[in-house]
Amino acid sequence: MRRLLIAASAFALTAGLAHADANLQSMMDDANQWVIQTGDYKNQRYSKLDQINKDNVKNLQVAWTFSTGVLRGHEGSPLVVGDVMYVHTPFPNIVYALDLNNDGKIIWKYEPKQDPNVIPVMCCDTVNRGVAYADGKILLHQADTKVVALDAKTGAEVWSVTNGDPGIGETNTATVMPVGDKVIVGISGGEFGVRGSVTAYNIKDGSQAWRAYSMGPDSDILVDPEKTTHLGKPVGVDSGTNTWEGDQWKIGGGTTWGWYSYDAEENLIYYGTGNPSTWNPAQRPGDNRWSMTVMARDADTGMARWFYQMTPHDEWDYDGINEMILTEQEIDGKTRKLLTHFDRNGFGYTLDRVSGELITAEKYDPTVNWATHVEMDKNSDQYGRPQVVAQYSTEHNGEDVNSTGICPAALGSKDQQPAAYSPTTGLFYVPTNHVCMDYEPFRVSYTAGQPYVGATLSMYPAPNSHGGMGNFIAWDNIKGEIVWSIPEQFSVWSGALATAGDIVFYGTLEGYLKAVNMATGEELYKFKTPSGIIGNVMTYAHGGKQYVAVLSGVGGWAGIGLAAGLTNPNDGLGAVGGYAALSDYTALGGQLTVFSLPN
């Protein structure tokens, strides 16, 4: 079989895990393994394994399963490091180490003792997007913001550090990213008026290396006013405070609960910041920098190279935290280092990841109506800004005005569910939400630790289309256009996986794992797992055999009604009513399902 590497004995359970990850990059390059949640630093979610391909994927069957013992939404994916699989759960964030040489026998189990009072502070379900591996350690960021390093062989705690304070609304739902001798972590809590930040801890002992806030004084946000740029121009002094009224930036949101990527040659990490607080735009005049922003920072120091704010003065909760996918592609005969980002606001952005130059910004769902376009004329004072349609603005002279028919809804044309990229086709494979909303702001006061939302939402399928709430699309990031699209009844809330077998995998909220032809979108295989899939599909090889694995367990924002037993249509920040029919197709669960070809 082409390019399927046989697992080396150096990665055996009984020997040398710490030695094996002396070079984490080489482990990522080994297609047998899956050592961080994104597969690699580029966030491409592409595997060179091709034993399972477009011709034989129809024969896929369940190889084995594992119950996590936890209900609620299961996001993220397992890891495979040598002969060991690591599986995580939503709150209470249990981690299992499973022996792939012994029928998935549990080697160790780590179960944090967390205060259950953190649960009501978590937005949009009790999800966790998984653990990472580095330096012989499994790195976990718990719901209560405790960052823990576990010995990969024994599960013993090596060190731990508290990253935030749930008492003021700071929690965590995200994974972490190890880079060099540091681990990069973010923070959740934008709906509680926290101030977002990204922090680097030293992997060896958990000591803090640096912290960069999303807004605040230059010394807090780690910018050089003359060297850090936005759309090619210096950001200037006080860029993180001068578009806020008074001290609003102190409760400004801009949380960092999404994904991270890394360019080793440039030594830059890339990520996005979330919505400004509150959701009532009338209460926070100005551009609210640097919420809703793509950030490029030096991995060693945290100093910012460049920013790009996608949705200045956000009025719709279009969090900018979705993944940044790094590629090298040809434009006008020249190979360039690119960053592609599918934002919640419905625009697919492609930027030069070295300079921050904006190259493409186009709608990846044709129903997007809140803005006509992003201004691309560099000579315009509107350059880089979305051109808002007044009808779909949510800011009014007085609150309590309901803006209707806004597309996309607050959960975006895509939420955090990661897309995949194939260097074979040059296309991106994107799980999307095809959902619109009504949005009514109201005045809200800030109290530490209490919700700071200030809007009532309702969501529903986009009108005048296929009637469903999702599509799975192939996207050309240079032309800025959809190549093919598969309609789905519900939002596609699963992360995609592309492989050298010319297939793309994704999961559905009803619980189907699907495989499609990456060139045409033709469905080649589907299997219904025990619960809705909001996890991310991954693949690995063991004993010369390729496997595909996915967590099922319905939940997340789209499935919050099922996960938390909510029935009021406006609950779940507007999602419960929109996804009420989901209970006709699936129920709660928590299971890993592993697939392979028959022997």
The alpha carbon of 167 is separated from its chain's Cα centroid by a whole number of angstroms, namely: 25
What does the radius of gyration of the chain's CA atoms come to, in whole angstroms?
A: 22
Strand order in the sheet with 182-185: 177-179, 182-185, 197-202, 208-213
Q: 134 φ, ψ to 5°?
A: -170, 145
From 317, 319, 343, 415, the catalytic residue: 317
Q: Is 345 helix (H, G, I), strand (E, B) or coil?
A: coil
**Among all chains, which residue has been given the structure tokens 């034989």?**
56
CB atoms within 10 A of CB 135: 18
Q: Could you tell me which residues are beta bridge partners of residue 46? A: 498
User: Who contacts 244 (Cβ-Cβ below 8 Å, separation ≥6)?
Assistant: 215, 252, 284, 286, 288, 289
Going by C-alpha positions, the residue among 397, 341, 401 that lies closest to residue 374 is 341
Q: Is 27 helix (H, G, I), strand (E, B) or coil?
A: helix
**Greatest pairwise CA separation for the chain in angstroms:** 68
Token pair belonging to 542: 């063991």
β-pairing verdict for 95-99 and 84-88: antiparallel
Burial 191-224 (b: 16+ CB within 10 A, else e): bbbbbbbbbbbebeeeeebbbbbbbbebebbbbe
Question: Where on the phi/psi map is residue 125: left (φ > 0), alpha (ψ -120 to 50), or beta?
Answer: left
The verdict on whether 317 is a catalytic residue reads yes
- CA distances to 151, 174, 211, 315 from 140, rounded to whole Å, are 11, 9, 18, 33
Q: Look at the alpha carbons of 269, 257, 205, 17 in this order and tell me if their dihedral is positive or negative.
A: negative
Report the catalytic residues: 317
